[in-house]
């Protein structure tokens, strides 16, 4: 069970207190977003530079402070306190945070001193603990790497997704508290709600994948017929459901045109043979017009988003993005059936389905034309 006096429990209870006793407004949420973004970026940067128990990290953010993780957590927790809009939470957080993290930092430094001896003692003498007030160490050594196991195989990406969801969580909660279910009649508030659900679903799916090496979606979901059914189902909902008004309705038509153009550029450029590599594929290394999984998914997703923009169904965009991102990742990530799954992995999902792209692009163009003629693309 989580405790408010440990690292895992502090943020859980901070968010809980903010939801139950805070006084968040759109202004306070916006004011806290920079701290959230900076803290998430710093934590991600530090994680990609760290090689646990192999050597003392002295690159990236470790050039400035010894504990960039905890500085990042301080920024994130401070951002939540700012977004809470409640001065008692803001005033109590520093003492609460120090009571939790100071013993952790002291324990970690004792362990590192015992493990690395004079190397860590010299590093500790030259680099401040939490506040970067000294001249940083010179550059050198391996820095951030996407292949670092902390990024490629750890839980840092799902964690970053959850952190980025905090402002949306407080925004949706604030809107529900003030307007209750009237938020469903506001297109942008409905978009915020669906994006929040998508972010938590993505975080859960990635965490499950990295822990169990299982596909994000059921393996059968990679079949073109099921993907086509899902895309057509989203289009049907967009065409039949009432379109809630938004403040950006005037921009949706240009956005539709831009997305259709982008989808065509992605799709047809991906099938064009490129000089010698294209000739080799045509001669025996695969079809000259072969399109990668990522290109097919990106082109179809852009065409589907264009149709949703024309129908003013922005709230359906996050589920569409989630599904296409999951299909593309399952074809590439270890354990998802992609090429890196190893000799025992299943074949990669069959994602090629050319008629689906043309159908989605045609739906977007028709919906855009209806809007230009002054006819509703949806009720």
In order along its 379 residues, the chain shows pLDDT tens digits of: 678 888 888 999 999 999 999 889 999 999 999 999 999 999 999 999 988 778 888 999 999 999 999 999 999 999 999 999 999 999 999 999 999 999 999 999 999 999 899 999 999 999 999 999 999 988 877 788 888 888 877 788 889 999 999 999 999 999 888 877 777 777 788 888 899 999 998 888 888 777 777 777 777 766 777 878 888 899 888 888 777 767 677 787 888 889 988 988 988 875 554 444 444 443 333 443 456 777 888 888 999 999 888 888 888 899 998 888 888 777 765 554 444 444 444 444 444 555 788 888 888 888 878 777 665 555 5
Query: Are both 351 and 237 inside the same structural domain?
Result: yes
**Cβ within 8 Å of residue 346, ≥6 positions away:** 219, 337
pTM of the model: 0.80
Output DSSP code: residue 245.
B
Can you tell me the distance from the alpha carbon of 232 to that of 215, in angstroms, rounded to the nearest whole number?
23
Residue 149 lies in a domain: yes
Count of residues in the chain = 379
Can you tell me the distance from the alpha carbon of 183 to that of 166, in angstroms, rounded to the nearest whole number?
18
Query: Are both 120 and 249 inside the same structural domain?
Result: no
Nearest to 44 by CA among 163, 142, 139, 195: 163
Residue 204 lies in a domain: no
Residue 1 lies in a domain: no
Give residue for tokens 């792209």: 357
Neighbours of 326 (CB within 10 A): 23
Contact 156, 42 (CB under 8 A): no
Can you tell me the distance from the alpha carbon of 84 to that of 20, in angstroms, rounded to the nearest whole number?
10
**Cβ within 8 Å of residue 261, ≥6 positions away:** none
Name the β-bridge partners of 245: 186
Tokens of 126: 């030259």
Domain end point (choices 154, 187, 203) = 154
Query: Are both 105 and 243 inside the same structural domain?
Result: no
Task: Supply the range of the domain harboring residue 276.
Answer: 220-372
Query: Are both 145 and 225 inside the same structural domain?
Result: no
Query: Are both 224 and 147 inside the same structural domain?
Result: no
Residue 186 lies in a domain: no
Contact 306, 253 (CB under 8 A): no
Domain end point (choices 154, 170, 192) = 154
Nearest to 175 by CA among 184, 166, 162: 184
Residue 160 lies in a domain: no
Residue 49 lies in a domain: yes
Count of structural domains, the chain: 2
Query: Are both 143 and 225 inside the same structural domain?
Result: no
Query: Are both 14 and 146 inside the same structural domain?
Result: yes
Query: Are both 142 and 264 inside the same structural domain?
Result: no
């Amino acid at each position: 069970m989580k405790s408010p006096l440990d690292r895992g429990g502090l943020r859980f209870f901070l968010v809980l207190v903010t939801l139950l006793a805070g006084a968040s407004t759109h202004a306070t949420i916006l004011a806290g977003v920079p701290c959230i973004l900076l803290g998430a970026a710093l934590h991600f940067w530090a994680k990609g530079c760290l090689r646990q128990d192999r050597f003392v990290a002295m690159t990236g953010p470790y050039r400035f402070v010894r504990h960039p993780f905890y500085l990042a957590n301080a920024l994130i927790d401070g951002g939540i306190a700012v977004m809470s809009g409640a001065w008692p939470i803001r005033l109590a957080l520093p003492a609460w945070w120090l009571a939790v993290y100071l013993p952790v930092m002291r324990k970690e430094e004792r362990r590192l001193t015992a493990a690395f001896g004079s190397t860590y003692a010299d590093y500790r003498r030259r680099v401040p603990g939490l506040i970067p007030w000294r001249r940083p160490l010179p550059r050198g050594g391996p820095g951030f790497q996407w292949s670092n196991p902390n990024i490629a195989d750890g839980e840092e990406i799902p964690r970053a997704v959850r952190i980025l969801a905090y402002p949306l969580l407080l925004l949706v909660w604030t809107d529900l508290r003030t307007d209750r279910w009237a938020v469903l009649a506001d297109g942008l508030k409905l978009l915020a709600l669906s994006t929040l659900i998508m972010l938590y679903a993505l975080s859960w799916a990635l965490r499950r994948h990295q822990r169990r090496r299982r596909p994000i979606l059921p393996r059968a979901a990679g079949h073109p017929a099921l993907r086509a059914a899902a895309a057509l189902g989203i289009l049907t909902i967009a065409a039949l459901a009432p379109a809630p008004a938004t403040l950006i309705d005037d921009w949706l038509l240009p956005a539709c045109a831009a997305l259709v153009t982008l989808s065509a550029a992605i799709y047809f450029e991906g099938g064009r043979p490129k000089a010698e590599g294209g000739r080799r594929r045509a001669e025996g290394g695969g079809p000259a017009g072969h399109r990668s999984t990522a290109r097919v998914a990106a082109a179809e997703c852009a065409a589907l988003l264009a149709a949703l923009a024309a129908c003013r169904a922005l709230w359906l965009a996050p589920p569409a993005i989630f599904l296409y991102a999951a299909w593309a990742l399952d074809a590439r990530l270890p354990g998802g059936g992609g090429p890196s799954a190893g000799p025992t992995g299943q074949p990669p999902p069959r994602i090629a389905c050319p008629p689906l792209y043309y159908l989605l692009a045609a739906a977007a163009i028709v919906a855009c034309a209806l809007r230009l003629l002054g006819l509703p693309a949806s009720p």
